[in-house]
A and B are shown apart, each in its own frame.
Chain A
């Protein structure tokens, strides 16, 4: 999963970092006198990152996500394997958290590049931070700046002050600032806004996003492992021992029609006259019990067999004619007979297995 995320995010990271570096260079260069409007910087380093982070969170929480993420996917720069990874993420229903993580990574790359560009400019050129406004005065602006600077309250030198505000107010009618040293003093405040609202905020969101993605992926993997495998082949039913049928009847026996076979059928068997069965009776001689081949042996027959001895004679018939017994029925009787001591399974000539 980590590999997939890293692999796909490289071009995004590169593009974001390039954009951050170039935009910061362009904005921080200022005008011909190196003057940079502090209020523009607040827009770029506070309002835009906050709005962007909010948009990401809304995108993650909303049902359909934010379509800009899908636009990124439509860019013709993805390799087949990257597209396959994206499809896989969609299938796993992880594309939303994935887009969230990617956008945080992109924003982080943007802010790091932006910070780098800012530091390069601080080292190599003079940046003159000024502010201009038609409507706002220093008194109006200070409370706003204090709210912005609240997260780094402990960093005294990066806090805005009324004196600094008043000293750095600019007008385009004026050609130069009275004190060039003063206008550079905002750099700590600007650096702190970048670190807080771009770098730290996106870093926290990226960490949370990655943790959420990992949890969701783990959940998906558990379900997927259950769903993605075809059932293994069934183990064959255990073989059971079966009684060997006999074709010899006892010399003396009583024929019992347990199954209420029609008279026409009992006659065709040539076994003599069959009597109705009394399940409670104990016979002195062997008994031949006629059963329907297709009916499974019941407990009541088993009870009767415990009182007596003899043979079971399964009969299979249709339209008053005895027929060979299908193997599946005969096996059931063979299994049953094997468990009954003093009993055998008799196969009448008509009962030869199909």
Chain B
């Protein structure tokens, strides 16, 4: 599609009625400046919304500042209705107007260049006739247009606005850029398609792309939780020491490091989640995760930091491999007794001889000893706490519009209920997966097990 055929929409209106908010939400861009002070947007700025197979442009514009004077100027310089669009172009081109009516020139320029009009008003305050001048100016452009009522604080005055706007616009929609759910975004986009029939195929493609992207975002979020869960459930902080007294001495430091690591890892996951949904400015306040007490332990370690069980496994494998080499050397005439015998010898020597390694040294370096450990967390509730906190944040992030700059928080109070809402079979799978995670065993397709938790309240798209 050539740049000329890309659907373009100029978002215009009175100052401070949420034009930038609408552009921010629809373009999924939270870098667009939004302020409660009027006049934040001083120049028109085009934001290209690109999806996999299509794109459209939203143009954020400054608000009308002198609509009555501008309308007077237009009326004075136009003799008939057929000249109105041309008069608008003359107005934009005029040096005098560029100086006197800078904001109007800026907002009308993209419309004169072919953009459709999205006229934004605030539905929480009464309609006033002073708006008629700007609506009349927009009518003069002859461009396709629709009105959006933004209920900034309430919906009290929407009916009277609808009545007034219907006089000037064929299509009038209510859209709250701060609170509208995803399906309302796509519904609104679908109405944009009616403004210009040439754009409808492209907009349909964009809507489909957005729905697919939404699903992909959910999958990505599940992946982030899978990684978070696996890592938090397996994480361990260790410090090798010479004896048990030294181990006790490093306990406070290790516990502090462990807690800090958990906090950092959760922050990382939260940042990844925000990244998936393209929220670059959103603040998240992470309450401290309550970790179970008594995470500290003192273990024995042997060569390469292996514990007794791991050392036995390693010795079994090494013995079996060596025995197998002998089997090869005798061309299999040993009936694989070499591999079997080697494995047994390796296992038993590691199991029974490991305690001696604690005292042994190789070139002055110990090949065994003690280590103070914090974690991994074995508490049965822990995976649910992690999931609950993450999903609580996920629900906020996934439904957060980019115009909404409020900070998010983490709270997992309702997670038990959420799990209970799952099908019984899904609940069983989830419990099994959590058990395995706590036992440091891998879970096949953990993402599929967690997916139902994310799909529970997914708004229909």
Residues of A within 8 A of B (CB): 10-11, 14-15, 18-19, 22-23, 25-27, 29, 75-81, 83-84, 87-88, 91, 227-231, 233-234, 237, 259-260, 279, 292, 294-300, 303, 318, 328, 332, 335
With contact pairs A23-B328, A87-B227 given, residues A81 and B238 touching in the complex (Cβ less than 8 Å): yes
A-B contact pairs, 13 of them (CB 8 A): A26-B325, A75-B313, A76-B310, A77-B313, A79-B304, A79-B306, A81-B305, A228-B272, A260-B128, A295-B14, A296-B16, A296-B39, A303-B69
Q: Which of A29, A78, A259 has the most CB of B within 10 A?
A: A78
Residues of B within 8 A of A22 (CB): 321-322, 325-326
**Given A19-B322, A296-B14, 9 new contacts (CB under 8 A):** A26-B329, A27-B328, A79-B307, A83-B440, A229-B267, A298-B65, A300-B68, A303-B66, A332-B36
Q: A18-B322, A228-B268, A332-B37 are in contact. Are A77 and B234 (CB under 8 A)?
A: no
**A234–B283 CB distance below 8 A:** yes
- Say yes or no: is B130 at the interface (Cβ < 8 Å to chain A): yes
- Give every chain A residue within 8 A of B337 (Cβ-Cβ): none
Closest-CB distance, B344 to chain A (whole angstroms)? 17
Q: Find chain B residues with CB under 8 A from A26 CB.
A: 325-326, 328-329
Whether B125 is near chain A, meaning CB under 8 Å from some CB there, is yes
Q: Which residue of A lies closest to B284 (CB)?
A: A230
Tell me, rounded to whole Å, the shortest Cβ–Cβ distance linking B12 to chain A.
14
Structural contact, B376 and A80, CB atoms closer than 8 A:
yes
Contacts of A234 in B (CB 8 A): 281, 283, 405
Docked pose: A84 CA to B265 CA in angstroms: 13
Closest to A10 in B: B304
Which 10 pairs show the lowest CB-CB distances between chains A and B? A26-B329, A299-B65, A296-B38, A22-B325, A300-B66, A77-B314, A80-B236, A76-B313, A228-B268, A296-B16
- A residues within 8 A CB of B39? 296
B235 contacts partner chain A, Cβ-Cβ < 8 Å: yes
B442 to chain A, nearest CB (A): 8
Cβ contacts under 8 Å, B128 to chain A = 259-260, 292, 295
The complex places the Cα of A259 from the Cα of B68 at a distance, in Å, of 13
A227 touches B272 (CB 8 A): yes
A229 is contacted by which of B66, B271, B313 (Cβ under 8 Å)? Answer: B271
Task: Write the nearest CB–CB distance from B206 to chain A, whole angstroms.
Answer: 26
Point out the residues of chain B lying under 8 angstroms from A19, CB to CB. 321-322, 325
Evaluate contact between A91 and B227: CB separation under 8 angstroms. Answer: yes
In the complex, what distance in Å separates the CA atom of A335 from the CA atom of B38?
Answer: 11
- In the complex, whether B35 has a CB less than 8 A from a CB of chain A is yes
Chain A residues closer than 8 Å to B281, beta-carbon distance: 231, 234
Q: How far is the CA of A260 from the CA of B127 in the complex (A)?
A: 11
Complex contacts, B274 vs chain A, CB 8 Å: 230-231
Please, which residue of chain B has its CB at the minimum distance from the CB of A231? B281
| 8 Å CB contact of B321 from A18, A88, A233 | A18
